[in-house]
Amino acid sequence: MGGIYLERLADMGFAKEYEFLTEIGIEPRNSGSFVNGAWKGSGSVVSSVNPANNKTIAEVVEASSQDYEEGIQACYEASKIWMQLPAPKRGEIVRQIGDALRAKLQYLGRLLSLEMGKILPEGIGEVQEVIDMCDFAVGLSRQLNGSVIPSERPNHMMLEMWNPLGVVGVITAFNFPCAVLGWNACIALVCGNTVVWKGAPTTPLITIAMTKLVAEVLEKNNLPAAIFTSFCGGAEIGQAIAKDTRIPLVSFTGSSKVGLMVQQTVSQRFGKCLLELSGNNALIVMDDADIQLAVRSVLFAAVGTAGQRCTTCRRLLVHEKIYDSVVDKLLEAYKQVKVGDPLENGTLLGPLHTKASRENFEKGIKVIKSQGGKILTGGSVIESEGNFVQPTIVEISPNADVVKEELFGPVLYVLKFKDFQEAVEINNSVPQGLSSSIFTRSHELIFKWIGPRGSDCGIVNVNIPTNGAEIGGAFGGEKGTGGGREAGSDSWKQYMRRSTCTINYGSELPLAQGISFGS
């Protein structure tokens, strides 16, 4: 049925503002499954919608269960070839993928902004993040080092070997539709794994465009196309990945609720999970802080990406001595936020991603008011064709139940505290544990903050926003955020299996711990 629908669209072209999409392989009609080198699609027909006006950009035929099975089997078979290629050679392929992305950076960034709704500088920046991950992974391909361990037995050698897992499944979310792929796929590929990617259902075009560029690199190097397999689809495809014993590792980005279900499914088959889930991030402003620096940071952290980053600042904790001053300066800064088309110069706040997101914002504001929250600015939907809402600041008690939840939008809770210890307790009081930051000039407080009795988050910053993490560090959080670590540092170890190898190069058989067994 999907094929018939697409045939009816065969003669349709793009509106002028969308013509650039042809430069990255997007058409008014698109098949949404890249299966063993061929584009297919026999599932439902969906529309990619521009959140700035809720009008269709292009159509996509999603993957069916049959498409999935054909694709994952080809990906599994391709892993047997890819894992035998030397790691530096795999790194060279990833280097070429980075160059392919560089050549299309502006087009891809524009598509990302168009389809997701984040402002153009953020869209381009996200694609640049994938390019940066490619560069990081190229260097890593020559540093997948194991240890040589002293043996207690004579004429014995102990060492660690790191080998590929096989296939890595990557399930990404709408808010970073390609950056999270980069965190996972670049590392997984140089580690010798093939990749099966399910992009977010509401951002299928960026999934297709990214896949086409990777596919061109694989084809140019005469490598199996199934090394990188991708599907546009919904929960059915995600569930299939979670259940599939051919996929030893599944990376999932999304809500804590769905992430828990994915983890339980993968664990039932003794697979491994990398979870990047909800955040409820706090930024603390001490009474000795650089207030201007703090206000600028809060503005970016709370308003950027329309509050739809997992690292968005959702709770602003301000010392009671400077509370009024900070809030006044922040309210003044919010007046300068231009809301509008994310592709227009000067826009700082684009639309929420979907109509449902806008409805959740409205429901959230009602709950906030019912729990004693005072709206200091914003708090309303902006009447338009798109999913625009006002950037919102709320004064509320840290004990309100709604503060413990993640409202995915530009809503900032402002909370007052008396001293450092109370601020840390408020920071750590929520179920999530992704990102946190403190603004202070005190060396003592800085080291307490990053120490064992400080922030319980995976990202613990000082004098910078909660968001905008660099790729060189491991990204992830604790508690309800899932515990996964992706991107930099030694995150690569999660994409490989470690073997401890003991080699006897002598003619005797001494046993460990001095055990004597027989003659």
User: Which residues carry out catalysis?
Assistant: 276, 310
Backbone angles phi, psi at 265, to 5 degrees: -65, -45
Backbone angles phi, psi at 154, to 5 degrees: -65, 145
Neighbouring C-alpha atoms within 13 Å toward the C-beta of 264: 6
d(CA 216, CA 316): 46
Backbone dihedral region for residue 249 (phi beyond 0: left; psi -120 to 50: alpha; all else: beta): beta
Encode 293-309 in three state secondary structure: HHHHHHHHHHHHHHHCC
Q: What does the DSSP 8-state code read for residue 506?
A: S
Pairing state between β 281-285 and 272-276: unpaired
Residue 162: CB atoms within 10 Å = 18
Q: In the beta sheet, which residues pair with residue 171?
A: 198, 252
Backbone angles phi, psi at 162, to 5 degrees: -110, 120
Residue 200 tokens, joined = 């977010």
Quickly list DSSP for 428-466.
TTSSEESEEEEE-S-HHHHHHHTSTTS--SSEEEESS-S
d(CA 199, CA 181): 9
d(CA 171, CA 203): 12
Query: Alpha helices of 163-290 — where are they, by DSSP H?
Result: 179-190, 204-220, 235-243, 256-268
Cβ density class 335-344: b for 16+ within 10 Å, e for less: eebebbbbbe
Residue 330 tokens, joined = 């922040």
What strands, in cross-sheet order, belong to the sheet with 194-199?
Answer: 38-40, 33-35, 228-232, 194-199, 167-171, 249-253, 272-276
